[in-house]
Amino acid sequence: MIGTRLLMETKAQRMILAMHKLSTHTPSSTNPASSISTVIPTSVEEKESDRLDQVDRLVEELIQWMHRDYSRREQYLQHLAGTLAQQCTHLEQINHSITMESSSSFSISTTPTDHTMMMKKETQWIMALRQEIIQLFEHHLPSVTLPSSSTSTPQHTVPQLSTSYSASTKSMSPSSSSSHISASGLGNEDDGDAFYNSNRTSMTSMMTDQQAHFYHRHHQNIVQEMKQFIQLLDQQLTELDINTKRMPQLQQENDSRGHSESMYERDAAKTINELESSLKNEKQHNESLATKMADLQQRCAQEVQQGQALRESQENQEKEHQLLVKQLELALEQQEKQHNLKMKSGASEWNQEHQQQVNQLTLELDEEKRQRQALEVQWNSYQQRQDQQQSELKQEQQCSADLRSQLIQLQQANDEKQKQLDELNGLLNKQNNHTLALESQLTQLQQDQATLVNQYSYNDGGNGDATVEMTLIQLSKERDGARLETQEWQTRAQEMELKLHDQQVKMDDLMTELQTKDKALETLQSDKSTSELQVGTLESQLHHLQVEHKELQQGHGRQQELSKDSEHRLAEATHHIHSLTEQMADLKRQHQQHLEKQQQHEMQNIGNQSQQEDWKKKYLDLEDRLEKAQQQFTHRESGYILQSASLEAELEQILKEYDRLTRHITDFNSERKKYEEQISDMNQHQHRLDQQLADLQVQVLGMNDSQGTTMAVRKEFRQLMAQTKAAHQQQLDKELQLRSTLEQERRDEKQEQERLRWDRVNVSVQTHFVV
């Protein structure tokens, strides 16, 4: 009870400490300093974990000591059961003889003093034995309730005896605790000793028949109490036998549990293989996505450079166009001035010059049309490229969404696997406890065998030659039973060792798979963060490209309007030149129309400026949105960092549990070696007992027969058989030693293979995946 209570308290303390760690690792704020402080464990928590480990070790040592003390108590009880059985048979024989003698003593009163002295000695011996049994129950079986004693010690006279007997029977009642029983037994013994010490001189006098009858009745009451004590001991021993009979049932349950665990581990291995295949596919998919993202980044950079070049070329063309318009306006003004002058000087010369100027203007307009067509072709190709990039970005967004869903599924699967691993750890702990119970029962059986051997050797020394044959028969039977039990326990111990080794190998495999999965999860998370960063950068680049595209479209529209205006102006100028030849009034009207058109153009420029202001506002809104998206991304990134820190803390706890399991496994190996040595010692002791039994049989066989020759031949034959048995036993011992050495070498080889596999699987995967 004390051991189980300590175990429960230590488990509760460990759970509280784990919850405290999880509470410190939870993301309380987005501040990176606070996240770093939660990840780093404090020295107080480390001291607390060390203290809990020490408490675990102390509790395990206390439980082992309690098991050993309990086995020692059971050995002592079995030893006392045998001695009490012999003493009870002896007491029954004495009681029978006393009843016969008491019946004759009442009829024949020749020797009352001898009878009373014998009764006195028997009562003294029985009272001492009763006190020893009460002390035995108090020390080894405190939970057993003893029956109340109805005996009392005799006094000086018969009336005093009767009164003291009635008073003792009325005062003593059945108690539930062993302390009251021991006190009453001690009081009775002290009263009896005081009576016999005070009245030792007066016992030589003659006693009446009533006193003899009272002693006889007192003796019978004590004998009945002794019988009750012996019945209680028999009940306790039958309970122990029932516990030993339940061993095969427990073994069958253990086998069924092992079968269910093997099925569960197969299912776990299948799911683990599926997860590994899915992880490999996701890694390949991530690599392909990384290559596509790199290509897209290169294409976007190229497109940006081309867009900048186009923008610069368009700006240069706009500047040249404005210069041309200004030059045309200046030329028109000069033409008007020259026209006014030439109208005065002569119309012929003016017409020739005017035609030359018109031809130059037409050539310049053709060149501008060609440049505009080339710009339109470039702009169409740029729009096609931009459409392709948008489609590719949409595909990449879909792929990233698929990756996120797959990551969520993987996290759920990992959680399920973690739960399955926790269940497997619980089953392993139960099985380890069951193996400890089986090993304690094996030690109890071995100690019972040793106590039986000691008991029979003690009985042989006390009874002499008269009980040699009986003890030989009993020794032979018990030897056969002990041999069968030792063989069964050896087979069971070997099976349990094989199961423990298999479970250890499976636990190592599961730990390696867990570590690989955790590393794969870390790589996936890093890939996810990098992909999200790349998606954000691409989206920002898309927004910039769209803005630039819209600006280029506006500039192209302006150029088209300017080109249309210039064409319209040229048409008006030609019409104005032709009309000048006809009428001067038409020139004035055209001049007025030209002024109106200039005003309209100024109004259009004002509308374009308002559109530019609207685009600037939209650009500022987009920048605000980008800042908000960056803040959300940093918040999510801090959450992922905290999750990775909590995962690292859980991994540290798993590694600590793994170290504790390895320590338990080493302890199991040392205990197994001790048990093997004890089994070999028991086999040697059994062989010695067989030899002693054969020697005793040889000594006893020829004691009653008169034929000496046949006995000598028999003795020689038995000696030869003993020698052959000894030789065969030596050969068997050598074979067992060779077998044990080979098994140890095999275990060492398996451990070396596991270590090499660990290095090959885990050490070679310590590189980080970088896109």
Give the pLDDT confidence of 246-270 residue by residue, as tens digits: 555 655 665 665 565 566 567 666 7
What's the average model confidence in pLDDT over 478-491?
A: 70
Please indicate, yes or no, if residue 72 is contained in any of the structural domains. Answer: yes
CB 456 within 8 A of CB 471: yes
CB 119 within 8 A of CB 215: yes
Please give the Cα distance from 553 to 378 (Å, whole number).
12
The pLDDT value given to residue 742 = 92
Q: Is 524 exposed, middle or buried, given 0-12, 13-18 or 19+ CB atoms closer than 10 A?
A: buried
Nearest residue to 573 via CA among 287, 334, 349: 334
Q: At what angle do helices 247-345 and 209-245 cross, to 10 degrees?
A: 40
All residues at 6 or more sequence positions from 83 whose CB lies less than 8 Å from its CB, including other chains: 455
Is 766 a residue whose pLDDT tops 50?
A: no
Please give the Cα distance from 538 to 592 (Å, whole number).
54
> In percent, how much of the chain has pLDDT > 90?
0
Please indicate, yes or no, if residue 134 is contained in any of the structural domains. Answer: yes
Please indicate, yes or no, if residue 530 is contained in any of the structural domains. Answer: no
What's the average model confidence in pLDDT over 484-488?
A: 73
CB 138 within 8 A of CB 182: yes
What's the average model confidence in pLDDT over 710-732?
A: 81
CB 333 within 8 A of CB 576: no
Please give the Cα distance from 255 to 631 (Å, whole number).
59
Tokens standing for 208?
Answer: 């009446």
Is 723 a residue whose pLDDT tops 80?
A: yes
The parent domain of residue 185 ranges over 42-246
CB 665 within 8 A of CB 550: no
pLDDT band at 460 (very low <50, low <70, confident <90, very high): very low
Please give the Cα distance from 527 to 680 (Å, whole number).
61
- Provide the sign of the torsion angle of the four alpha carbons 347, 352, 353, 359, taken in this order: positive
What's the average model confidence in pLDDT over 400-417?
A: 68
Q: What is the pLDDT of residues 509-556, one digit of tens each?
A: 767 777 777 777 777 777 777 767 877 777 777 777 778 777 777 776
Please give the Cα distance from 578 to 583 (Å, whole number).
9
Domains contained in the chain, number: 1
Q: How far is CA 452 from CA 297, 475, 689, 696, in A?
A: 88, 9, 12, 18
Per 3-state DSSP, what percentage of the chain is helix, strand, and coil (rounded to 5)?
A: 90, 0, 10
CB atoms under 10 Å from CB of 769, counted, come to: 16
Please indicate, yes or no, if residue 215 is contained in any of the structural domains. Answer: yes
CB 769 within 8 A of CB 526: yes
The pLDDT value given to residue 180 = 39
The mean pLDDT of the chain is 67
What's the average model confidence in pLDDT over 150-160?
A: 42
The pLDDT value given to residue 770 = 39
Residue with tokens 């005093």: 160
The pLDDT value given to residue 207 = 45
Which is more confident, 160 or 379? 379
Please indicate, yes or no, if residue 57 is contained in any of the structural domains. Answer: yes
> What backbone torsions phi and psi does residue 208 show, to the nearest 5 degrees?
-85, 170
Which is more confident, 12 or 694? 694
Is 738 a residue whose pLDDT tops 80?
A: yes
pLDDT band at 630 (very low <50, low <70, confident <90, very high): confident
Is 711 a residue whose pLDDT tops 50?
A: yes
Helix, strand or coil for residue 157? coil
CB 80 within 8 A of CB 233: yes
Please indicate, yes or no, if residue 113 is contained in any of the structural domains. Answer: yes
Please give the Cα distance from 243 to 71 (Å, whole number).
13
Is 635 a residue whose pLDDT tops 80?
A: yes
Query: Within 13 Å and on the Cβ side, how many CA atoms surround 439?
Result: 24
Q: At what angle do helices 112-140 and 209-245 cross, to 10 degrees?
A: 30
Residue with tokens 């020490």: 54
Cite the beta strand spans of 553-599 per DSSP E: none
Please indicate, yes or no, if residue 143 is contained in any of the structural domains. Answer: yes
Please indicate, yes or no, if residue 543 is contained in any of the structural domains. Answer: no
Please give the Cα distance from 388 to 296 (Å, whole number).
11
Tokens standing for 348?
Answer: 């012929």
Which is more confident, 388 or 36? 388
The pLDDT value given to residue 148 = 59
Is 768 a residue whose pLDDT tops 50?
A: no
The pLDDT value given to residue 582 = 74
Is 327 a residue whose pLDDT tops 70?
A: yes
Is 291 a residue whose pLDDT tops 60?
A: yes
Helix, strand or coil for residue 771? coil
Q: Is 462 exposed, middle or buried, given 0-12, 13-18 or 19+ CB atoms closer than 10 A?
A: exposed
pLDDT band at 683 (very low <50, low <70, confident <90, very high): confident
Tokens standing for 64?
Answer: 């082992």
- Provide the sign of the torsion angle of the four alpha carbons 411, 414, 416, 419, taken in this order: negative
